[in-house]
Amino acid sequence: MTTDLRPWLIALPLVALGWIGTLALVMRLGGEAPSALVLFPPDGLVRALPPGVAVVSSGPVSVTLKGDENLVATLYSLGATLVLPAGLTGCLPQTG
């Protein structure tokens, strides 16, 4: 008896994409989180941050930021394409 793994190989990436999409939509519609994770930040994002926004950690493909209640809108206005909620440092391997 063999197990057909094809349904799982299709379902798992779709679930992951749906989860990331839901998190991104919640943040875009005004969801609150202790901080925000920007995946694939545009060049110059950190230099363009306004006063009051702090870099909590950064990595090769992401940066985690903490700021006021307008943080998500600020990040999107600075060119971020994907902003996710972040509450726990260390969720992704990053350096301070």
54 membership: H or E segment, kind and range: strand 54-58
Number of domains in the chain: 1
In-domain check, residue 44: yes
In-domain check, residue 91: no
* Domain that includes residue 51, residue range: 6-86
Res. 29: pLDDT tops 80: yes
- Look up the CATH number of the domain holding residue 49: 3.30.70
Residue-wise pLDDT for 62-85, tens only, equals 999 998 888 998 999 999 999 998
pTM of the full structure: 0.75
In-domain check, residue 92: no
Q: Residue 44: left if φ>0, alpha if ψ -120 to 50, beta else—which one?
A: left
In-domain check, residue 77: yes
Res. 94: pLDDT tops 60: no
In-domain check, residue 95: no
In-domain check, residue 1: no
pLDDT of residue 83: 92
Rounded distance between C-alpha atoms, residue 93 and residue 74, angstroms: 25
